[in-house]
Every structure is written in structure tokens, then in C-alpha cells.
Amino acid sequence: MSAARPLLGAMGRHMVHMGASPGLGQVAKLCNNLACAVEMAAVSEALALGCAAGLNPKTLSMVLNTSSGRCWASDSYNPCPGVMPSVPSSSGYAGGFSSALMLKDLRLALELAGACEQPVPMAAAATPMYSRVAASRCGSDSGRDLGDDRQLQGQPEGQPPDFSAIYRLCYGGRNAQ
């Protein structure tokens, strides 16, 4: 680790030695992305339900972010268009972290869980939803059954949207007013 520190420091600020066994850093990455995917799905579900029941998504997000629902998906990368100005949801779900990459990491986490004989029911529930999001392609007809693909205009044609598009494509979430 000490020999690699200068190179690793050029790529990121935080370095954590995960142990002597090879591959533990990859395990940590998969666990982190599993948590991120499930949090994004949960925040999307809560925002979609709140909006359907008449709440303003900006106001609901304020409640989440000052209460026990606060997490990175709600306070730094909100999936509802118009709640935060500089995140993929407010740019047609363009850029950000590809839903195809999130799906890949979820599938790898499920494989790891099987090898460890560790149940991961939340990852198992989220994976088909991210599969639907990753299968959508902006600017084409392939995603029409998943939601209004005009909401995904900012993404390059044929590319899967950012993983926060789960809000729109799986929950039919509305924009902030």
C-alpha cells in the first residue's frame, strides 16, 4: 500500500487499506455500489409515492434530508428532475454513473453473495429494476414501455441513462414544479 500511495493519491483523496487478501478492495466497491443502488431505489420510491399523494418533491426532499431518510441519493444526487440543478436527473439523466455499470456491479454483488452464502434480498429486488433502466436507450423506441423517453433527451442516443433514472423509468416519478 505504501508503494502505491503516490499513484493512488493522484486518483482519489481517500485510501483505505482493506486487508492483506487480494480482492478485498473490489469487495468493498461492490458493497458500496450495492448500498448506493438500493438507496437510490428507496429514495425514488419514496419521492414517487409522495408526489403521487400530492407532496412537492423539493419539500419532501427537504424532509428526507433533515430526517432519518437522509442519504447520498437524497441529499447529493436526487433522482427527481428539478430538485437539484447540477445532477443527472435535471439534465435528462445524461452523464453520471451509467445504469449499465450499476447493473453490472449489482450482478457481481449477487454472485459474491452466492459464493459467500449470504442473503442479499434488497440487491436481488433492485437488480431487475436496474436491468429495466439499463435496457432503456435514449432517443430510440426500445424504452417506451419503461417510461416517457422524452424525459431522457440529454443522454446520447443509444446510451443507457444514469442510474438515477430508476425514478422515472421504474416509478414513473414526476418532475419538481
In angstroms, the CA 97 to CA 76 distance is 14
| Exposure letters 79-109 (e unless 16+ CB within 10 A, then b) | bbbebbeebbbbbbbbebbbbbebbebbebb
Closest CA relative to residue 149, chosen from 102, 93, 82? 93
Of 29, 58, 70, 107, catalytic: 29
**Does the annotation count 29 as an active-site position?**
yes
CA 19, 25, 30, 32 dihedral sign is positive
CA 33, 49, 161, 127 dihedral sign is positive
Residues with catalytic annotation? Answer: 29
